[in-house]
Amino acid sequence: MSSSGWGKIAEGTSGPIWTRDISATGTDRVGFFSQIQGMKIVDCNRSVVGKLNDLSIKSGETLLEISRVVYTSNILGEKVILPMSSVRSIDCAIQLDLPRDEIPPGKLSEKELLITETILDKQIVDIDGLKVVRVNDVLLAQVKGALCIVGVDVGFQGILRRVGVLGRSGISCQIMSKLPARIIPWSYVDLLDPALRKIHLKISRKTIKDLHPADIADIIEDLNNRDRLMVLDSLGDETAAETLEEVEPDVQATVVKQMDADDMADILEKMDPAEAADLLDMVPKEKASEVLGLMEPEEAEDVIELMGYSDQSAGSIMTNEYVWVRSYCKVSDIFERLRKAGQDVDMIYYVYVLNDKGQLIGVASLRDLLLADPSGKIDDFMKKDLISVLPTANIEEIANLLSKYDFLSVPVVDPDGKMLGIVTFDDALDNVIPEDLKTRLPWNYHKMRRVRAKEHGV
């Protein structure tokens, strides 16, 4: 089968990256699906038998190979399916190598899918731009004697080409020449489902796991819920947990309601307990109980404790992940503990000192520790004039307290002074900003806030 009517890869495109990668497949002739969709089908006697509707694809070693043509007969109007082995050439028309009366009936196998149903107009995750784009056209080329998909067009050129603008003379050509080509080579596409049943979602350029969780969250928010679950499932529990923490609350609620209890338990175990408690509040009580039962007892206990506090109270937004030591600990030993705790505690602003009963008796900032004698004990310089709040304290009061004393976090204690957790400045601020004001903040406010907070931790 020849495709002499198509152009060289440099024609109608720009940019060396996709050109070089597609050339590496062993072809220098390409064409777009939109250019042949609707093309006349002629038999070996040059008689028109119909018009092309679609192409079927099957998995190859590295590329998707075109296996069959699907066209509408010009006599009865029924769909006819033919193997590519019956196609002699693709030029001004698609020429078959057999006469009309010898065209056999055909059908697709279970492993064959149609371009229009599985690729065209489907979503693709563009990692370079950190956004979801749409496949507007499909780039085809003859590779080692077989017609294959070698790329997808996600740019505006693809849209104009499909509506018939590209190729016309006059101002349309001038406009098209100024539009950048947005071609993603098929070699840059990573199929989430090797069986090709979920080909509508792709990850391009590099593995999504290499991105910052906040960037993955941006992508997830633009997907439908089924695709969100697919991406989270591909990340691993720890990265999935960090990503889910960055997602907007309304999207979080949609995701966790459809997530399997086992998967949810694995992810929540890697989360900050306060975040995990918030997510469990979004699902029915029966599912929340099931998830807690599947979690490790220690992690589940921390989450259950936080779920018991009323909304808009210190207990509802505090985290029980913080670093504490005894008063007799040496500075050098504390730093060793900080290095180990840093793997589990997201934000470390202060080191709290507790007695044998778990009561808060002192606090030291990281600056205090850095300036202290490594051989000295924390009891020698810790602050004993403490400011703390009860778990029932109002969030607005806590925010004012943090602002007044320029604290980055405040400890939460019970009436007997036993340490329960901490409320960080960013969590308190987020809960006191009015909803109407939040809508006027930058679109990525929540992610910027979390990223900055984590960067200031140890």
For 259, the domain range is 208-308
Give the model's pLDDT for residue 167.
Answer: 52
Domain membership flag for residue 199: no
Give the model's pLDDT for residue 9.
Answer: 44
Mark whether 371 and 437 lie in a shared domain. yes
Taking only the tens place, the pLDDT of each residue in 276-286 is: 988 998 999 99
Taking only the tens place, the pLDDT of each residue in 347-369 is: 788 999 999 999 999 999 999 99
Give the model's pLDDT for residue 430.
Answer: 73
Give the model's pLDDT for residue 203.
Answer: 52
Of 186, 217, 243, the position where a domain reaches its end is 186
What is the pTM for the complete model shown? 0.52
Number of neighbouring beta carbons within 10 Å of residue 42? 18
Give the model's pLDDT for residue 220.
Answer: 83
Mark whether 61 and 107 lie in a shared domain. yes
Mark whether 294 and 332 lie in a shared domain. no
Q: What is the CATH number of the domain that holds 137?
A: 2.30.30.240
- What is the pLDDT tens value at each position of the chain, 458 positions in all? 655 555 544 444 443 334 444 555 555 567 899 999 999 999 999 999 999 999 998 866 567 889 999 999 988 788 999 999 999 988 889 999 999 989 888 888 888 889 998 888 887 766 655 567 788 999 998 888 889 888 888 888 888 888 876 554 444 455 545 555 678 777 766 554 544 444 444 554 456 777 788 878 888 887 788 878 888 888 888 899 999 988 888 899 999 999 999 999 999 999 888 889 889 989 999 999 999 999 999 889 888 888 878 777 888 888 888 999 999 999 999 998 888 877 677 678 899 999 999 999 999 999 999 999 999 999 999 999 999 999 889 888 888 888 888 888 999 999 999 999 999 887 887 776 655 544 444 444 444 444 444 444 43
Task: Specify the number of domains making up the chain.
Answer: 3
Give the model's pLDDT for residue 199.
Answer: 40
Mark whether 176 and 260 lie in a shared domain. no
Mark whether 23 and 163 lie in a shared domain. yes
Mark whether 11 and 151 lie in a shared domain. yes
Mark whether 295 and 327 lie in a shared domain. no
Mark whether 116 and 19 lie in a shared domain. yes
